[in-house]
Structure 1
């Protein structure tokens, strides 16, 4: 009877010790973090609308706010008006060319008459009914008129060239103005605050009605569906790890209990560093360790900053 009374407490003590050792055993520890994205304003102006609250789940590409862009819209209208006014600055070559063409038509009619008269005079000279001087005078008039026609045709070509050059110079201003309009339009598009990644709003920095500026933070968002446990291992443990390795992650769940998760190692530091002060004891912090990142699927209980412990293999 005495033996049974002695053995039963002993077995209970050993069992409790075994359970305690199982709970306390871990190979590394660290804290959870997430890839946080700080969304900033890309435009100066008053925030007209801002549908963001801490804890909201936002999807990628979702428009969550609008910044006043009235000034940019006016700039765009001004550039468009300037482009339209360029056509009014161009010269119309048609009236001037028409005058020269009318002048050329008259000269052509005169030439036709002179040639007819010259041919008739040539026949008269052969018949001794006209003098050679009369024929020479007509030939001289034909030469003068032909030269005048050449000058008129050159004037038409020069006029067309000059007006075309002048108009090209004016219209060439359109391309830079079009680019300027596109730049203003691109700035106007930044008036919409577009959420860059899917996730949960962690911190909100601005409110509707406030005036913001480029680079000023509006809110912080992170994808909390999967968190990263940044843990630290010793150099002796380094040979036991590899990328893609599955490990067990333990998180406190009450006083003497743990919540267990499956994690995957996706990054191992190639440089040693001193143990962070928040990890282990003062003596152990003097040792060099390596940081590892473990991806853990979040069931809703994991939080940023929460501590976690890693078991490289089941004890």
Structure 2
């Protein structure tokens, strides 16, 4: 009877020792993002709270950027003023064309008058001087018509040149307006990733400066256990390998999760004081990361153990 009791005790001890054995251990962590202010000013609106779930692209705050808005309005007013300086080539061309039509009509009238005067001169009803005066007037009109035609050709060119000069001032102003708009956009606090707010650093109404942290957020739907293994264990694992993660669940129980090895360090390091490896005599260890789906029970910083799947 005594032998049976001793045998059962030994089995219980071995079973307990086997259940407590693990291949690596570490703490859970997540990729944390610290969202900072991108503009200077008073935080006018702010809806961030610790523990709050946020989606990527959510607008969670607004910094006062009224000075930048006024600068943009000033630039836009300058652009509108330049637009009023632009000349329409069509209006100028129509004016010169009407002048040309009048001159050509005068020339036709003078040509008819010359013909009539030539007939009068032949019949001694007009003097030679009258005919010479008409010819001089015709020559003068022809010169004026030639100048008007040249003016008509040059008018469009000059107008386009003037407009290009004005538009050359407009383009830099538009670029300046776009830059100011970018500064205005940075007044909005846009949440970069979907996740849970871990820490809130700001309050509505506070003065913010560029680079000042507002809050810390992380996606805790999936966590990574950062653990350390010895060099002897290194050949036993591979990237993408499946393992079992174990965390405490009560006094003597464990809760297990399937995990995937997503990273293995290519450099060894000295064992952290807070980490116990399977071989406690090992001075140099390798860090690994095991990703696991979080059911809400796992927390950042929680201790966990890794068991290789056989």
What is the TM-score with the length of structure 1 in the denominator?
0.86
Deviation at 1:122, TM superposition (A): 4.3
2:270 is equivalent to residue 274 of structure 1:
yes
Indicate if the aligned counterparts of 2:53 and 2:194 stay in contact, CA closer than 8 A. Answer: yes
Equivalent in the alignment of 2:67: 71
Question: Structure 2 vs 1, CA of residues 228 and 113 (structure 1 numbering), >3 Å: closer, same or farther?
Answer: same
Residues 247-266 of structure 1: CA deviation (Å, up to 9, x unaligned) = 11121234433222211111
Q: Tell me whether 175-184 or 142-151 shows the greater mean CA deviation.
A: 175-184
Gaps of 5+ in 2: none
Q: Tell me whether 130-139 or 181-190 shows the greater mean CA deviation.
A: 130-139
Equivalent in the alignment of 1:111: 107
Equivalent in the alignment of 1:23: 19
Equivalent in the alignment of 2:227: 231
Taking only aligned residues, the RMSD between alpha carbons, in angstroms, comes to 2.8
Residues 30-52 of structure 1: CA deviation (Å, up to 9, x unaligned) = 11110111111122111112111
Equivalent in the alignment of 1:152: 148
Deviation at 1:208, TM superposition (A): 0.8
2:299 is equivalent to residue 303 of structure 1:
yes
Indicate if the aligned counterparts of 1:44 and 1:213 stay in contact, CA closer than 8 A. Answer: yes
2:63 is equivalent to residue 43 of structure 1:
no
Task: State the distance in 1 between where 2:47 and 2:98 align.
Answer: 72
Residues 59-79 of structure 1: CA deviation (Å, up to 9, x unaligned) = 222221111121222122212
Counterpart secondary structure, 2:67: helix
Task: State the distance in 2 between where 1:174 and 1:43 align.
Answer: 27
Question: Structure 2 vs 1, CA of residues 17 and 166 (structure 1 numbering), >3 Å: closer, same or farther?
Answer: same
Count of aligned pairs: 309
Indicate if the aligned counterparts of 2:93 and 2:155 stay in contact, CA closer than 8 A. Answer: yes
Question: Structure 2 vs 1, CA of residues 99 and 221 (structure 1 numbering), >3 Å: closer, same or farther?
Answer: closer
Task: State the distance in 2 between where 1:227 and 1:278 align.
Answer: 20
Task: State the distance in 2 between where 1:131 and 1:167 align.
Answer: 54
Gaps of 5+ in 1: none
Residues 252-293 of structure 1: CA deviation (Å, up to 9, x unaligned) = 234433222211111122222222222128x94752222111
Task: State the distance in 2 between where 1:302 and 1:136 align.
Answer: 113
Question: Structure 2 vs 1, CA of residues 50 and 139 (structure 1 numbering), >3 Å: closer, same or farther?
Answer: same
Give matches, 1:1-315, under 5 Å: 4=1, 6-90=2-86, 103-123=99-119, 138-280=134-276, 284=280, 287-313=283-309
Task: State the distance in 1 between where 2:181 and 2:192 align.
Answer: 20
Task: State the distance in 1 between where 2:151 and 2:137 align.
Answer: 21
Residues 229-254 of structure 1: CA deviation (Å, up to 9, x unaligned) = 11111222222112221111121234
Task: State the distance in 2 between where 1:199 and 1:178 align.
Answer: 38
Residues 86-122 of structure 1: CA deviation (Å, up to 9, x unaligned) = 1333457788767755654443233112211222344
Question: Structure 2 vs 1, CA of residues 265 and 150 (structure 1 numbering), >3 Å: closer, same or farther?
Answer: same
